[in-house]
Amino acid sequence: MVFASLEFLTLFLPVFFAFYFLTPQRYRNHTLLFGSWLFYAWWTPKFLILIIFLTIVSWLAAILIDKSACEKYKTRIMAAAIIVNLASLAWYKYANVVVRSLNDLFGSADHPLIVWETVFLPIALSFTVLHATSYLVDVRRGVVQAQYRFTFFSAYIAMFPHLIAGPIVRYRVIEKELKERFFSAEEFATGVRRFMIGFAMKVLIADPLSPMVDLVFKQTAPSLIDAWVGCGAYTIQLYFDFAGYSLMAIGLGLMLGFKFEPNFNNPYLALSIQDFWRRWHLTLSSWLRDYLYISLLGGNRDGQTRTYVNLMLTMSIGGLWHGGESWNFLIWGIIHGSALCIARAYNHAGYRIPDLASRVLTLLVVMLAWTVFRATDFHAALAMWGGQFGLNGVAMGDAVSLALRPTVYASFAAGILCIVYPATRYAATGWWIFGSRSWRAIWPALAFAYALIVLTGQQSPPFLYFQF
């Protein structure tokens, strides 16, 4: 069950809200928790046990940290609980790829070194671990108090709007709202509007590009045009898919009385690679900065060389966090880490690139990195890069030409007209199109209605970030 599905929109969401708003205020966290567990179990019931186990470990560890008078014991308890979380994540993410790599190096197809049954990655595990880790670190630092009520803490971890693919919500951001929140018709209406916009972004813009992306990235020798069409389609698909999900999650949070932080800020308009990471997946970027780059590695406090090492380590670990099926995500992280180091060294030397050239260069680096991010393995990434650099000819292939059906253009154009144009128009002028502020309430509803009609005639692909 995904947000952009009829079963969620017509069954789960209305039933959940009916129970939620009929529940007395003091018990709404209970309704939120059990509704979130039901939402998760709808996907994979057996893995709910793992999520609950990690929740219990983190909850008990935070209480022990709070009760302990010894600073060393506090640190050890925190470290032990974090290790349990990270070990679970590492097992489910990398057991398959490590075994596969060992078999490729030391075994053969007929005689593998290790006989292995595939381990399936539980959805939401990556974000559960990040939420638990930030909570434990903040409790140890004294930034937040340990939450003694298991229902409240579990509701924070399992809250279905952000459970599957973020945004990453730090406990201190919603601590007060977990304890007490009140219904606001204005905030509920704002949440509905954001949910509808995110839904339209996913269905009208991201989903129509999915077949094109799959087609191109399956080719063994794409031409120059094919490769860039496929990479460009994926660049757009990934943004509108993930930003759409994030906006839907933020909207759902507002409907429930929670204020989540924004997750995107026009990342493809970034002036530099540093600026890109101040705009893309903001909650992950800030998490990596605060809990890894600065707190664990030391940030830029120990000179330029150590700063470059820390940047590479941070982005490599960020790549590993995304990964699981191949080492491509580590390579993606290394590319971004290298780009950040080069940009920092270039700026430190006093050089400057004109703004337009800098934006184009940044987007080019981002798109080349998205190629390895999307490719199924490194060989597929090399094939796509070969096409992007013109090693396989230039002309568009017949398969790609046939895939560019009128329905793709129509849905994409509708998405642009319904989402991108009104949003950019408002950002530039402060007024909604047609000169009427009432359009602010109307256009998301029209976009949502059209997207819902489109959805009834097809099955929406899962959100791309569900696999991470």
- Encode 281-293 in three state secondary structure: CHHHHHHHHHHHH
Hey, how many other C-beta atoms are within 10 angstroms of the C-beta on 340?
21
Which tokens go with 99?
Answer: 């075994």
Task: Kindly report, residue by residue over 263-286, the tens digit of the pLDDT.
Answer: 999 899 899 999 999 999 999 999
> Between 426 and 233, whose confidence is greater?
233
Domain boundary among 357, 377, 402: 402
Q: Which residues are catalytic?
A: 322
What is the pLDDT at residue 430? 44
Same domain, 137 and 255: no
Give the domain range for residue 91.
Answer: 6-182
Same domain, 167 and 274: no
Query: How far from each other are the two terminal CA atoms of the chain, in whole angstroms?
Result: 17
129-133, 155-159, 180-184, 359-363: range with lowest mean pLDDT: 180-184
Range 396-401 average pLDDT: 85
Helix (H, G, I), strand (E, B) or coil at 393: strand
Task: Kindly report, residue by residue over 153-212, the tens digit of the pLDDT.
Answer: 999 999 999 998 879 999 999 999 999 998 899 999 999 989 998 998 898 888 888 889
Same domain, 147 and 285: no
CA dist 138 and 134 (Å) reads: 6
Q: Do 347 and 310 form a contact (C-beta atoms < 8 A)?
A: no
What is the pLDDT at residue 456? 84
What is the pLDDT at residue 104? 82
Q: Do 19 and 31 form a contact (C-beta atoms < 8 A)?
A: yes
In a domain, 433, yes or no: no
Does the pTM of the predicted model rise above 0.85? yes
Same domain, 214 and 113: no
In a domain, 449, yes or no: no
The pLDDT of residue 432 is above 70? no
In a domain, 392, yes or no: yes
172-176, 263-267, 297-301, 397-401: range with lowest mean pLDDT: 397-401
Same domain, 323 and 202: yes
Confidence grade of residue 431 (pLDDT, cut at 50, 70, 90):
very low
The pLDDT of residue 441 is above 90? no
Q: How many residues does the chain have?
A: 468
Task: Kindly report, residue by residue over 46-86, the tens digit of the pLDDT.
Answer: 899 999 999 999 999 999 999 998 999 999 999 999 999 99
Same domain, 242 and 372: yes
What is the pLDDT at residue 411? 65
Same domain, 54 and 149: yes
CA dist 155 and 148 (Å) reads: 13
Alpha-carbon distance values, 68 to 73, 134, 140, 404 (Å) = 7, 19, 10, 63
Averaged pLDDT score across all residues of the chain:
89
Q: Do 155 and 29 form a contact (C-beta atoms < 8 A)?
A: yes
What is the pLDDT at residue 450? 84
Four-residue CA torsion sign, 95, 99, 104, 105: positive
Percent of the chain's residues with pLDDT above 70 = 91
Four-residue CA torsion sign, 225, 228, 230, 233: negative
The pLDDT of residue 217 is above 70? yes
